[in-house]
Structure 1
């Protein structure tokens, strides 16, 4: 399992502190000038808000000083309001832009990270959960950076400045206000801890819901063909209800905290105002001073109430930040070397397995490969056959270095794959997997996935070589037709031929075919087999096959059983030797003709 990622089925650590938001600083740092400008605008608007009560006091106390002076006070108040409006608009623009920019960078960083992870990372974490972290969690962070954080800073300034102005206006009344602070802070601290835990739990359940939806929607035809819609809906409903229940408890806790804080704040303010009104009657302060004090008290109370709400948002975002930090800091068991050895060009295409043994981390008790010694010579076409679970597909995965062997080494042109950059040697390999991957794009773009700089003519030539040209031209928009998610517009055989065209277009010196013709009908298989034969003439080719009819022309056939190479030779030599290959041949051939096609291996069986 990838280090640092905890499965949803286990108890995950909760966010311990809002300081976890500090992990966002590396993403904010490149835009610190923008952030500083936003903070300046924020400070100015806060300062203007604190000046406004002074203008109101002048207006109230100036009623008896003549109309001209009163007009000046109102004019000054209007100017303050104008500055406040412009400053607030500028603050909103700068802060929101900063939030969007930072979140866009986080999403790119997380996606860049996970797309480079080896299969071990994806063994225990659902793709839907990763998507949830990239979308839901980053949306929370965007809300905090683009709104909550700036509002929090503004309210902190207003709270601090308001308290100073309260003291300057009336030290007596301010002392009474300060007595309220411990009463307000206590529920924030006590309920804030519970809110932090509930926020993390809520996000985990949302991720679980996304993972469940993604998993079943990607296999919707399987769900429907086995009439499992009801059970699938029930399972998704259970997870969604659990997410709702966690969210409900979080909302209830936050609502209680907000209600308590607001009640305490405004009850205290009313009490202070009652005392202030008595002081005005006694002549200890003017009406304008009382109005000024009232406005500052309302500003301070509003800032305190806003901070209590924002505190919950910050804690929720802290949990989201920790979850994203997990993805960004997780260690991949496969690493490129610090000082990689370049793969010599032109690539000869010699593949070597030297005493290779391997076990999948998810099945440590089962050997996928045991002491495999095998050399595939440049330009040689080698077929690998054997029963399900023999280790055939594992050979292909080790050649691509999706895994590293537990013992021994895999080499390309005599160089251990672990000494080279994966991108370097993989660029010399074209693959046609058993489950062809078709993207939600046009047919042309799907084929061009094999080589991004290919011209339209080269794309169409590759399609013709894979016998895909005819059915692609018959689509509504020809090669520009949208194929739908996972190529749902095409049949299984058509998807496989598009994947073969992609490999042909790549024109790599090494070709890996993992059951590449398994989804084709007999006529299409014959046509594609001819294309594969032509393609394999001048390159090293490894063919993983179940049906022996597709490998009879191979230069050499490798027979595997229980993770070991048990025999190798040509078709005729292996039949003459007897053993496993001869038994497979007797099962699949009758009077020299292929028997009924054998079903494709079950998904996930190697």
Structure 2
């Protein structure tokens, strides 16, 4: 399995590089500190090399002893120590700056995803987003800790060293001056191919992460239908493709390193040869020759390091493409309301509502119905008829394309989302539990609920019995997504969570799915026993649940085709009666 997206245009690459540099403004102070420390450390190379050259010259040619050269050695040791401290300080401040940039970027991404809302999340692969927020942002680390500081240092130190070399030996200075541009030139030539490979590599990593995450999420379903081996083969092919792509990147990386080392070695060797011949023929003194020879490798070191860190730039650009695309994703045009919900909600009206996830596939068409305070209303219909979509609209997770939903005459879109969320409770079709104790999971919507309230909600959801049989009861710690519990137990804990929260509207999306008949009956009795202050909307999987409702709405292809009580609808030769017959025959 491969990706066929064309290589990134150069203009886009430059734009992303500019975006990465603008993000560095958030951490300007620590990054500038890192650059300053690196530059000063580079400058100290000059007196360090001079002291070492004088000490060696004195020992070899003046036959001085250790005591005689000690005044040169003590400052030399001091310079070693100072440069080591500066190198450590530069690393620490660069890491701090990068951490600040990554933290700010992750906050921006989380805020953007929150503003885009559940509709956007429903269209994205969770593994792709998780990889972007973790691996994608972490990939930018070396860009800020190594590449940007090294670029500044590489532009300063070679110039400073040339200024020191030319007075000592202009021939060596010319050799260094000619050899210096060769490294960045070949780095750019090789970098063009490497950049394309890095972009392809990042896309394959995102694909592999998304595929693996999705497989883990649906592992139980895959095993149920015997498709786990097939998915394992797909992951194997993607992993092997990623391995081969990684080796291609490493091959080019090693090639670029070889080129950089070759030109560095060639430049230093030429300086050494010219100095050696002139020393042999007595055309220059040992002290300046040895001083220049000590500085020659240091002259190329920043340029070589810049070439090495150039790969960090390409990795960052490849990762930032997806990050920038997410940050620039258009947000929903709807402006959140600011009004408060009615103090005592009397009725909810859904008026001529149309909604479509895609323009060519309407999910709801002209939906009209009302919910009165304390009423129990069931939604029934085949899969895809629009039941869960109605729940999403009532929850405020999406807005109608046409028509409106009103709360005692106030349009739901004009009400502050946080105010409406505080007044509703919801059990989704696929509830999610989090790593923590069972009590903490039940308290998710009401963190300060008492132990008695938690137990009462669990009893109402028919969950108290199996919870008490667990090793630590309500304090039993479960894994992410309810690891360690069965599907039915997860649904009962989620139902207890929904029942614990006081709400004007309670929406239960197939609350009895995955439950045995006896447990489902207990839950129906619990819902029937709820105080009539709460309006309950039931998305019914079992027709027994619908039969216990005050009113039933039958949906087909996004329209309400029937409405009425259970007995009334059974008397009509229409959809509900046909569904009831199929259900009792076991066909549903």
Under a length normalisation based on structure 1, what TM-score does the superposition of the two structures give? Answer: 0.89
* Farther-moved stretch of structure 1 (428-437 vs 35-44): 35-44
Distance 2:7 2:332 in 1: 22
- Which of these residues, 33, 38, 41, is aligned with residue 37 of structure 1? 33
Counterpart of 2:510 in structure 1 is 515
Residues 1:370 and 2:369 aligned together: no
Residues 1:350 and 2:381 aligned together: no
Residues 1:276 and 2:275 aligned together: yes
Distance 2:319 2:400 in 1: 36
Deviation at residue 11 of structure 1 after TM alignment: 4.6
Distance 1:261 1:449 in 2: 57
- Counterparts of 1:549-568 in structure 2 under 5 Å? 549-568=544-563
- Counterparts of 1:451-466 in structure 2 under 5 Å? 451-466=446-461
* Farther-moved stretch of structure 1 (26-35 vs 306-315): 26-35
Change (3 A) 1:526 1:230: closer
Distance 1:167 1:10 in 2: 50
SS of residue in 2 equivalent to 1:359: strand
Distance 2:546 2:477 in 1: 34
What per-residue deviation string (whole Å, max 9, x for no partner) do you get for residues 517-546 of structure 1?
122211111111121123362112211113
What per-residue deviation string (whole Å, max 9, x for no partner) do you get for residues 331-376 of structure 1?
2336433xx3322342405322221122222xx4332211112222
* Farther-moved stretch of structure 1 (197-206 vs 539-548): 539-548
Counterpart of 1:408 in structure 2 is 403
Distance 1:451 1:9 in 2: 48
Residues 1:134 and 2:130 aligned together: no
Deviation at residue 126 of structure 1 after TM alignment: 1.6
Counterpart of 1:53 in structure 2 is 49
Deviation at residue 166 of structure 1 after TM alignment: 2.4
Distance 1:10 1:89 in 2: 41
What per-residue deviation string (whole Å, max 9, x for no partner) do you get for residues 408-431 of structure 1?
223333333333343332222111
Change (3 A) 1:228 1:568: closer
What per-residue deviation string (whole Å, max 9, x for no partner) do you get for residues 436-493 of structure 1?
2222322112111122232333322221222211211211121121222321322222
- Counterparts of 1:308-347 in structure 2 under 5 Å? 308-333=307-332, 335-337=334-336, 340-347=337-344
Distance 1:465 1:268 in 2: 81
- Which of these residues, 423, 432, 436, is aligned with residue 437 of structure 1? 432
Q: Report the number of matched residues.
A: 583
Distance 1:335 1:198 in 2: 40
What's the C-alpha RMSD, in Å, of the aligned pairs?
A: 2.6
Deviation at residue 499 of structure 1 after TM alignment: 0.9
SS of residue in 1 equivalent to 2:370: strand
* Farther-moved stretch of structure 1 (36-45 vs 283-292): 36-45
Is contact 2:341-2:407 (8 Å) kept?
A: no
Distance 2:109 2:124 in 1: 15
Counterpart of 1:470 in structure 2 is 465
Residues 1:157 and 2:167 aligned together: no
Distance 1:561 1:397 in 2: 17
Deviation at residue 148 of structure 1 after TM alignment: 4.1
Deviation at residue 128 of structure 1 after TM alignment: 0.9
SS of residue in 1 equivalent to 2:331: coil
Distance 2:169 2:530 in 1: 90
Counterpart of 1:4 in structure 2 is none
Q: Where do 5+ consecutive residues of structure 1 fail to align?
A: 1-6, 590-594, 600-606
Distance 1:44 1:478 in 2: 63
Distance 1:175 1:412 in 2: 82
Distance 2:4 2:468 in 1: 48
What per-residue deviation string (whole Å, max 9, x for no partner) do you get for residues 17-57 of structure 1?
46634434676545433333333333322222343212222
- Which of these residues, 483, 486, 495, is aligned with residue 490 of structure 2? 495
Residues 1:424 and 2:423 aligned together: no
Counterpart of 1:572 in structure 2 is 567
* Farther-moved stretch of structure 1 (481-490 vs 99-108): 99-108
Counterpart of 2:240 in structure 1 is 241
Under a length normalisation based on structure 2, what TM-score does the superposition of the two structures give? Answer: 0.92
Deviation at residue 509 of structure 1 after TM alignment: 1.0
Is contact 1:347-1:413 (8 Å) kept?
A: no
SS of residue in 1 equivalent to 2:299: helix
Distance 1:209 1:218 in 2: 14
Distance 1:154 1:456 in 2: 61
Distance 1:535 1:8 in 2: 54
- Runs of at least 4 residues off by over 6 Å: none
Deviation at residue 320 of structure 1 after TM alignment: 1.6
Counterpart of 1:187 in structure 2 is 186
SS of residue in 1 equivalent to 2:561: strand
Q: Where do 5+ consecutive residues of structure 2 fail to align?
A: none
Change (3 A) 1:34 1:341: same
Counterpart of 1:79 in structure 2 is 78
Counterpart of 1:603 in structure 2 is none
Counterpart of 1:223 in structure 2 is 222
